[in-house]
Amino acid sequence: MSPLHPYARQIDALEKRARARRLIPRAGIDFSSNDYLALAHSPAISSALMEALAQGVPAGSGGSRLLRGNAPEHEALEEQAARFFGSEAALYMANGFAANLSILSTLPRAGDLIIADELAHASMIDGIRQSKAQAVFVTHNDAVAFEDAITAWRTQGGTGTPWIVAETLYSMDGDMAPVDDLFAIATRHDGFLLLDEAHATGVFGPDGKGLSTHLEGAENLITLHTCGKGLGVEGALVCAPKLLTQTLINKARPFIFSTAPSPLMAVAVGAALNQISGPSGDMLRDELRALATHAGEVICAPLGLPMPETQIIPIIIGADARTMEVAAACQNAGFDVRGVRPPTVPPGTSRLRLSITRNLTNEDIDALAETLLPSLRAKESL
């Protein structure tokens, strides 16, 4: 038997369940990216990169940050990010996955308890799996469940530090965490709070600083601002007390043993932070909110769905195959709409994830509605 046989069976099984993934070229009007503010093609960011190239900034870092890969551009960005977000320190990493993996596999210690939202991102789950701390997952966005888990742990003899882990804006549901309640619980129990601001950075808060900016600088708060979504570029910024960023530099294996991000990308992130601040940043956010409101009026309201709170609109269909059929109908009509299936979302909740970005116009949204609504209603009648 071929050694490839088990993998063939695995892929065949995924195909039969309508869960096989494949890479496809970009095509159609963008309803799937996380380029919320349309900064991926920003002339200002491109100009900053061209200027850096002209000044001799290299494309590659040449090594890990602890070897020769630590460039002045990395350190300048970290200083800028700490000032911008209001933290004592910041650490620039390759991406949000590596950052969450680093934080959760390194900072919680044996004897601690990690209490994570049941819909926490896969990068958080993998970090928790590698941690020496005990872990429990609790009901989504239920602050009481977080506190009850800590209380039960203490009652059973837990003496370490509790770590509350959540996203501020959930990428598949488009809803927001009870940030203030979670911070109060963490503080009340002498614990830490880790908040992943990935889908809020650039979009929410004063100057796009996120949904937890009013808490920034607290000694028990760690925030993660990924740079490949609202900022339109690449990488991730861990904002935290300096003692914790120093611990990551010394102990986090994904940081220690990875080639440093390109110095050019550090320049690009710095330019993106400049773009999202001030009146020009407010204008970008206002335009995005207006588009999301319009999408709610022409897509959500006719389907009986609540108006969206954010730029992410989930349309839950349920069955995997049916979800992919509706997505295909949209794609065939010229719209880049993607179906999302388990294990990315819980079983029975396969959905279309509509991502509203400044790459769209009201006319684009109207045109999608003309295709999407009949497709959904046709499937409902089967």
Annotated catalytic residue within 196, 216, 234, 320: 196
Q: Which amino acid is at 253?
A: R
Query: What number of other Cβ atoms are within 10 A of residue 373's Cβ?
Result: 14
Q: Is 199 labeled as catalytic in the residue annotation?
A: yes
Phi then psi dihedrals of residue 335, to 5 deg:
-120, 135
User: Residues 35, 167, 197, 216: which is the catalytic one?
Assistant: 167
> 151-180 b/e with 16+ CB inside 10 Å = b?
eebeeeebebbbbbbbbbbbbbbbbbbbbe
Q: Residue 53: name the closest of 264, 274, 272, 269 by CA.
A: 264
**379 within 8 A of 322, measured Cβ to Cβ:** yes
Which among 123, 131, 171, 258 is annotated as catalytic? 171
Catalytic residue chosen out of the listed positions 189, 209, 229, 294: 229
**Do the Cβ atoms of 244 and 211 come closer than 8 Å?**
no
Active-site residue, selected from the candidate residues 32, 34, 141, 258? 34
Residue 229 among the catalytic residues: yes
Residues in the chain: 382
Report the alpha-carbon distance of residue 151 to residue 161 in Å, rounded. 12
Q: What distance in Å separates the CA atoms of residue 142 and residue 136, rounded to the nearest whole number? A: 14
Question: Catalytic pick from 32, 74, 78, 121?
Answer: 121
171 is catalytic: yes
Specify the amino acid at residue 218: A
Phi, psi at residue 238, to the nearest 5°?
-90, 120
Reply yes or no on whether 359 is catalytic.
no
- Look up 167 and say whether it is catalytic: yes
Evaluate the omega torsion of the peptide bond into residue 343 and state whether it is cis, within 30 degrees of 0. yes
Catalytic amino acids?
34, 121, 167, 171, 196, 199, 229
